Amino acid sequence: MLDESRSPGRGRFITLEGGEGVGKSTNLGFVCEFLARRGVEVVRTREPGGTPRAEAIRRLLLDPAEEEPLSDDAELLLIFAARAQHLERLVRPALARGAWVVCDRFTDATFAYQGGGRGIDNDAIATLETLVQRGLQPDLTLLLDMPVEAAQRRVSERGNERDRFEQERADFFTAVRNVYLRRASSQPERFAIIDAAQSLEDVQQAIEACLQDWWGGMT
């Protein structure tokens, strides 16, 4: 298999991960600004979603519609359908022209939510990952980590109506957090764990230190 991640001139792929309310969306712009200041083209995106069709799949996934519960397998396949579309239409072309892609959630979230939270077999997820990503992996993943209860308080304070995932219970999010932490410790070269319970200022200082370090090693 051609390892496209090693092509010269290719951009880099950075993902932000963590449970609900840890501050991914809040800090996405901060990461993008750090990179833009260094003169690279930055593409800011999210999963599930990122293109019009993939965003339509996102709406299906997040809709609480209780009259027809979504099956766990349908959820998993929709997530990878959205991912396939997003990679094909947005992420791969951006990386190929040298842009840096910053994405709010990616496949680590699938292992955490559908694997840890829903209990879907890891091998099934890994099979779909291979099919859809063909070796493409994030170059850097910032895992925003904090205790579940405090993150849930932030979700409550954020005030919007809760989507299908945000309505899950604490044990679901504890399982999600544990999978994220396990993946981070098993792939330390890709992951940086950020203590997300700190003030926003301190979180951003930690993110900046990590990016600076990483940028230094990259350029």
- When asked if residue 17 is in the footprint of ligand ADP (CB under 6 A), the reply is no
- When asked if residue 46 is in the footprint of ligand ADP (CB under 6 A), the reply is no
Site size toward ligand ADP (CB under 6 A) is 14
Q: 103-162: which residues touch ligand ADP (CB under 6 A)?
A: 154, 157-158
Count of residues making up the chain: 219
Out of 10, 24, 46, 58, the only residue in the binding site for ligand ADP (CB under 6 A) is 24
How many whole angstroms separate alpha carbon 177 and alpha carbon 157?
20
Least distance CB 72 / ligand ADP (angstroms): 22
Least distance CB 158 / ligand ADP (angstroms): 4
Our separate counts of H helices and E strands in the chain read: 9, 5
Contacts by residues 131-137 (CB-CB < 8 Å, ≥ 24 positions apart): 131/80, 132/80, 132/83, 132/84, 132/87, 133/83, 133/87, 133/107, 134/1, 134/4, 135/1, 135/2, 135/3, 135/4, 135/5, 136/4, 136/5, 136/13, 136/87, 136/91, 136/92, 137/5, 137/13, 137/190
For residue 22, say whether it is annotated as part of any ligand binding site.
Answer: yes
Stretch that binds ligand ADP, among 7-15, 17-25, 62-70, 71-79 (CB under 6 A): 17-25
For residue 33, say whether it is annotated as part of any ligand binding site.
Answer: no
- 3: helix, strand or coil: coil
**Site residues (vs Mg ion, CB under 5 A):** 24-25
Helix H or strand E encompassing 143:
strand 140-145
Stretch that binds ligand ADP, among 1-9, 35-43, 84-92, 198-206 (CB under 6 A): 198-206
Least distance CB 14 / ligand ADP (angstroms): 15
Out of 71, 186, 199, 219, the only residue in the binding site for ligand ADP (CB under 6 A) is 199
Q: Which residues are annotated as a binding site?
A: 18-25
Which residues in this chain contact ligand ADP in the complex, by CB under 6 A?
18, 20-26, 154, 157-158, 199-200, 203
